Structure 1
Amino acid sequence: MSVAGEHDQEDDDDDNKSDQVEISLTVTVTKGDGPRLEFTCIGYSEGITIEGMLMKGPEGSSKELPYEGPEFTDLDENLQREFHGYLERRGITMSLQNFLREYMMKKEGKEYVNWLKNMKEFVQN
């Protein structure tokens, strides 16, 4: 799994998602040397959503599978739930998402402090 980034999202809907911090995740599931299943996910404070998924050729292979499949939201709701369960059984849970959120916030804070130090040093010299 890789954490692709973190950013604030302002949702104009009438729900409670305004000014929410979201974490972009790419989860890759492999079985030996065969093809891989890659999930593109977003972690919110309420849970993890799957934005999309696709099969890819084996790691290091230039062979890509030609059909990327339908949009995740176009899949039957039961199938969508099954894929969420599939990820949960592989450790992609709320506790992991909360850990990643805290880690990213601390990392961003440290990077900001380092940036300030570098800017101060540059400006003063």
Structure 2
Amino acid sequence: MWRQALAGARGALQQWCMLSSRRSSTSVSSAVNSMLLRHLKEHYLELSKMTPPPKVSPPSSFTIVEGALDRSGPVLKRTYGDEEISLRVMQLANIISGDDDGEDGINQLFLHVDISKPGQKESLHFLCGLFPDALGIHSVSMRPKLETSGFLVVPTKYNGPVFQDLDEGMRDALHSYIEERGINENLFPFLQAWLYVKDNRNLMRWFRAVGTLIKERKQASDA
């Protein structure tokens, strides 16, 4: 009888230790969640109070693609004769770390220019570096026409020579070709401001989404 009572006491003690450990773990997890939620809220509120840059319009020949701020895809478009031209933009600092020389971090941009014509399956694609006072071409290739999904199509066949391997006359002619279509440094002020707003909106959305997930997990663990 005594041995049975001792065995029962040991079992009860083990169960109490396990329960105590769970309570301690739950308490620590809850504290971490609360701390994270507090920081997320602080950063979200800080972003929401930031003054946006002055509103800038694109050059008059371009129109802003509806809904571009909320999805990946073209930002600006225009027609030039029978050509359809669309522009996508990315921060150069997102691709090459350590190239952030400006206070706002958006002083160097990658510009994707697609020029297509009705009835053709491929478009002429320019990858350019855009700066406040200059535009340079990195590459020129033929690619399948831009899809509405908003993703760049990776070429599966030979898509052209290395731009720097072209002779100077050809390079100058290609620069003149896109400049004639309004692709130049005049696009920079609008695209810089547009990226600032987009990055701010995406970051606020990210803080809100992470906070919602943490809250749901916290409520589930408290239940």
- Normalising by the residue count of structure 2, what TM-score does the alignment of the two structures yield? 0.43
Counterpart CA distance in 1 for 2:117 and 2:169 is: 24
Match of 2:186 in 1: 95
Per-residue deviation, residues 67-86 of structure 1 (Å, max 9, x unmatched)? 53321111122321221121
Q: Whose RCO is larger (CA < 8 A, sep 6+)?
A: 2
Give the CA deviation at 1:119. 2.4
Match of 2:32 in 1: none
Q: 1:66 to 1:110 in 2, by over 3 A?
A: closer
Asked if the contact 1:3–1:23 (Cα under 8 Å) also holds between the matched residues in 2, the reply is no
- Say what the alpha-carbon RMSD is for the aligned residues: 3.0
Determine whether 1:50 maps to 2:137. yes
After TM superposition, list the pairs within 5 Å mapping 1:73-112 onto structure 2: 73-112=164-203
Counterpart CA distance in 1 for 2:101 and 2:172 is: 25
Counterpart CA distance in 2 for 1:73 and 1:89 is: 21
Match of 1:40 in 2: 127
Gaps of 5+ in 1: 12-16
Match of 2:114 in 1: 28
Counterpart CA distance in 1 for 2:214 and 2:172 is: 54
SS class of match (1:124)? helix
Counterpart CA distance in 1 for 2:203 and 2:138 is: 29
Structure 1 or 2: more strand by fraction = 1
Structure 1 or 2: more helix by fraction = 2
Per-residue deviation, residues 10-52 of structure 1 (Å, max 9, x unmatched)? 35xxxxx846643222212123323532112222333222111
Counterpart CA distance in 1 for 2:140 and 2:212 is: 45
Instruction: Kindly tell me the number of residue pairs found equivalent between the two proteins.
Output: 117
Counterpart CA distance in 1 for 2:196 and 2:206 is: 15
Counterpart CA distance in 2 for 1:47 and 1:95 is: 9
Match of 1:123 in 2: 214
Counterpart CA distance in 1 for 2:146 and 2:211 is: 44
- Normalising by the residue count of structure 1, what TM-score does the alignment of the two structures yield? 0.70
Counterpart CA distance in 2 for 1:57 and 1:110 is: 31
Larger Rg: 2
